Structure formats: C-alpha cells, structure tokens
Amino acid sequence: MNPTRPLKSRIDASQGRIPCDLVLTNARYFDVFTCAWKTGALSIFDGVIVGVEDPLPAKRSIDLKGAAVVPGFIDAHVHVESSLMTPGEFEKNVVSRGTTAAICDPHEIANVAGTSGIEWFLKCAEQTKLDLRVMLSSCVPASHLETNGAGIITGKHLAPYQSHPKVLGLAEMMNFPGVIHTDDEVMNKLEQFSHQRIDGHSPLLRGQALSSYLVGGASSCHECVFLDEASEKVSKGMSVWIREGSVARDLENLIPLLKMETSTSLGFCTDDRNPLDIREQGHLDYLVREAIRRGTAPELVFRSASWSVARHYSLDKNDIHGNIRMGAIAPGYVANLVVLDDIRSVAIREVFQKGIPASELQFAKLPDPSFSNTVKISALTEADFLAPKGRVHIMDVLPGKILTDRHVGNSDDPGVAQLTVLERYGHFQKPAHAYAKGFGENFKGAMASTVGHDSHNLILVGTNAGDMKVAAEALAKSGGGFCVVQNGAVLAQLALPIGGLMTSQTSAEIHQQLTALKEAAKQIGCELHEPFLQLAFLSLPVIPSLKLTNLGLVDVDAFQLISLTV
C-alpha cells in the first residue's frame, strides 16, 4: 500500500494490481440496501471492502463455506460506564459479540469528573479497535434538581471537543422542559450543535410538546416505552432506538414497529447494560437475537442494527477526518462483518473489525483514567439515616423499568424501604430521604451504590439506619462501588474506584463479584432482578415520575422538588 495515497491503493487492490489483505470466499452476505442475501467473495484491503464478486488476489483467504455474513452491529446509544468496565475492557467484550461500532455518551464520568472525563473517553476512542463515537454530554448535571461532582458543563465547555474526529454531536438532550421553555443555556447548546446530530431523550413526550422539542433539533429517541409513543416519534421524523438495557427493557413493546417501511428509522441500543448481561446474554447481538426470536424478519433486524444507525449519524458517508463509510457490505465500506453459523439464532462464528478477525485484534493499552478518590463524605452517624416518618410520597419501583410509579402511603407500610442519597463530592450537604416500595416484602438490611444516575451521588436503600451507615462507610472506603449489608456486616461488595463508576478489573472478575452481590441482595430479601441498576436510576430526575436526588424528592412531572411528607 502507498500510505500517502490510500485511495489509489484501494482501487489498485480492487483491480488486482496489488494483493488484497484478505478474501472471504463463499460468503452469503446480507445486502442492507435491498434486504436480500447475495453470494460472493468479500475481498478486503486496508480495512475496506474492495470487491464482492469473484475473489481478488489476496494474501490470505478464508473459505466461509456458505456462512451468512451481516454488517457489524452498531450500538446507537450506550453509556460505557454502565458496563462497569473501562473502555478497554468493554471493547474486548463487545466486539467479539458483533458490536463493531458504538455511539457513546460519557455523561456518567462527566458528571463525576467534568470535561476531563469526556477527554479521557475521547483519548480512548482514538485507540479502540471498536469504532467508538462520542456524543458530547448535554445535560451535566441532568437537571437543576441535583448537584454532581463536575458542576455545570455548558456549551462553552464542550466547544473545544466539538470538532474532534470521534465526536458526532450533542448527547441526549434530557432537559426537554428546558427546550420547550427555551431556557437560555439549552438554546445556546442547541444552536451550537445545530449542524451536528443532537440526540433526543423524551420519555412519554407526545403531541405538541414533542413537536416543539423536535423544532429544537433533537432527532433521535432511545427512551420510548410504548408502541404508540414510538410510532408517533417515527412519524415526526425521529430515529427511534429500541433499547434493551439491563433495567430498561423496551424491545418487547417496541419491536412490532419494525416493518420494512420503518426499518431505516429504527435501530437498537443498549443504553445501560450491566456486565453480567453482556457476559451471559450478549451485547447488541442479544437484542438482534431477541428481535428475531419474537418474530421479526431477520433482514429487517440486520438492516436496523447496522445501516439505519449508520445513516442517522452519517456514518454511511466518508467524513472529513478520514473515517470510511460503514453500515453495509458493499464496495467502499469498512469491513466490519459478523459471520453467523445460524441466522435465526444469531450464532456468531467470527467478527471482523476493519477486516481483522476479532480473535486476532491487537487491542491497544488505553490511557489510564485518573478519577480515583471521588467518594468524599463526612463522618457519618446513624442519625444521618433517620428519615421523616408518617404519611409520605412513596415511589413504586417497577421491575425492568427506569420509570417509577408513585403513591401516597405510610412510611411504615409493609414492603416500604427507606431511600437516602448522600452528596459524595465533599460538599457535605444534608442527606436526602425518601421511601420506595418494590424492593421486596421481606427486604431487610441495606444496599448502597455510588452509581446513582446521573449525578452519581451515593444512593442507599435500607430498612435500618445502622446497616445503611455501614454500607455508606464501606463504599467510602473502597472509593465507590456496590455493597450489600445486613446486621452490620458487609455481605458482598464490588469496588468501583474509577470515579465510583468503573473498575479496571476484567469482565470475569467483575462477573464473579456481581454474582455474589446479586446473591447477597436476594439473601436479604430483595426481589428485583437488577437490584443495583434499579437503585441507581431512582436518583435520575429526568425519568418520571418520582425520584430522589441529593437535594431532595423530585416530582419529575412537575419538574420540581417536593416535600417528602404529605
């Protein structure tokens, strides 16, 4: 190859004047453009497909013996931090599962560490084999109803990163009331990013309010819960990303929307997917598999999982940074390929990332994060965990949903546990308290997490002040993480010393500790399948309807703080 003229070299290879790097013969490859299967040899040079018909001369040849090949999956929206892994460990786990590109929003670490968190992600993205693209976090903190570690990130703070080769635009604009009411700083950001992609986030938003939000510039939504909600959003021009995270699981509701006519407006995303699920069920391959299992034509699913997302983010076009088009198997497209032993079960034989088998990828050592020691809480007493009692607002935790219901009841009602959020960035505010139902009728003890969306203060659920104090102290000591406590003893713990969100341990090590945590949670009576992820979302005040931040109880529908007692 002529390194100064890669285009010339690719054309030379496509004409057989120089050898290709790899040819995959006897492929049955998926054509996203017509939703049909084609047969041919995929000739690859310099990471790019240069021929799809007869095999071109190549240094290496692999006979696929008729195996199906589909374009690499693109995760349309993911917070890598929710995997608890560093980007380096994350890519090792997902590329082999078919996710060859991902659009990430590093807003978890941004809430903890500000733009230096975003910078770290960008530096990682420059070196990952996984094609990681970054949306710049729009809502740090998610609202004015909480405080985080970073303070407020304004458009001015984001400006230096806007033209970074890995940046595609503005991440999920969660502050939809701010759009509709034309808040100054929201308008600044929407104007600043109007020529790039602006991701939406508008759970349950409908009608004229949704139309106003769209006039603001958002063009995607990964927060649809109901089919008719998603259908309205597609009809109004949004790309809808069908999400199947570890808690928020919308695929069952939304997959009936995937038809030929809507297939280029729909994609898939994991948003927040925990390492257990990635390891046990899969990453985007799991969503693809589930969509097919539920009866959707595989062709529609494969199209949506690749080309449709690529088109939305203009990844199907070469860009000014030298990124080559992706999202399809065709000449001139990046050779991100998933080889399947079986189409319907999405049984993956091999993945090619820019033409290199995943099993042979040389992953780079990524930049070290420097976000340790982020859990700074003052000395605690049991009194810090004594919430007001009586007739109170109570959150109803819904298994598998990040939305909550709500009712008014008594703090001592059966099955009601106490929630507490502690500011953890050294500002030593008073703890905030609330109540939640849904952790289990026999729940007894405490669970705590420094993953507490999106400000990531320390969030605890418990049935007595003593166990809650022990849990908080355990996490303060480990620099963050998850723990389960009963009768004053820590039953299980996972340390997350990177910003209180991630660990540099391997997926296998994380898996082992998380399994123990889930077992311990069950042991103390927690009935939720995802105790920590569900807990973590109870502090996110941009998801209806009742949430608890470090500043107090939030009525999300009214978008204001309310008194706990009624």
Contacts (CB under 8 A) with a copy of itself, residues 163-182: 179-180, 182
**217 sits near a copy of itself (criterion: CB under 8 A):** yes
Q: Which residue stretch of 72-80, 97-105, 230-238, 506-514 sits at the interface with a copy of itself (rule: CB under 8 A)?
A: 230-238
**41 sits near a copy of itself (criterion: CB under 8 A):** no
User: What span, in angstroms and rounded, lies between the C-alpha atoms of 42 and 25?
Assistant: 6
**504 sits near a copy of itself (criterion: CB under 8 A):** no
Contacts (CB under 8 A) with a copy of itself, residues 418-457: none
**216 sits near a copy of itself (criterion: CB under 8 A):** yes
**237 sits near a copy of itself (criterion: CB under 8 A):** yes
Instruction: Please state whether 425 falls in left (phi above 0), alpha (psi between -120 and 50) or beta.
Output: alpha
**# of chain residues touching a copy of itself (CB under 8 A):** 64
Tokens of 92: 């090792």
Residue 43 C-beta: closest distance to a copy of itself, Å? 9
How far, in Å, are 234, 253, 288, 298, 303 from residue 259 at the CA level?
12, 14, 15, 11, 11
**236 sits near a copy of itself (criterion: CB under 8 A):** yes
Tokens of 518: 């889930």
CB contact at 8 A, 447 and 526: yes
Which of 459-490 are b and which e, b meaning 16 or more Cβ less than 10 Å from the residue's Cβ?
bbbbbbbbbbbbbbbbbbebbbbbbbbbeeeb
**8 sits near a copy of itself (criterion: CB under 8 A):** yes
* Strand locations in 411-504 (E): 416-422, 432-437, 446-449, 458-462, 481-486, 489-495
Beta carbon nearer to a copy of itself, 364 or 558: 558
- Spell out the alpha helix ranges (H) of 78-114: 87-94, 107-113
**162 sits near a copy of itself (criterion: CB under 8 A):** no
Beta carbon nearer to a copy of itself, 330 or 461: 330
CA 547 to chain centre: 20
In the three-class reduction of DSSP (H, G, I as helix; E, B as strand; rest coil), residue 428 is classed as: coil
Binding a copy of itself (rule: CB under 8 A), the pick from 152, 159, 185, 194 is 194
CB contact at 8 A, 448 and 472: yes
**195 sits near a copy of itself (criterion: CB under 8 A):** yes
Residue 266 C-beta: closest distance to a copy of itself, Å? 10
Q: Which residue stretch of 115-123, 146-154, 232-240, 520-528 sits at the interface with a copy of itself (rule: CB under 8 A)?
A: 232-240
Beta carbon nearer to a copy of itself, 329 or 521: 329
**159 sits near a copy of itself (criterion: CB under 8 A):** no
CB contact at 8 A, 494 and 85: no
β-pairing, 48-51 with 36-45?
antiparallel
**215 sits near a copy of itself (criterion: CB under 8 A):** yes
- Footprint on this chain of a copy of itself (rule: CB under 8 A): 5, 7-8, 10-12, 14-15, 31, 33-36, 38, 48, 50-54, 56, 179-180, 182, 187, 190-191, 194-195, 197, 207-208, 210-212, 214-217, 219, 231, 234-237, 260-262, 264-265, 311, 314, 317-322, 325, 328, 330-333
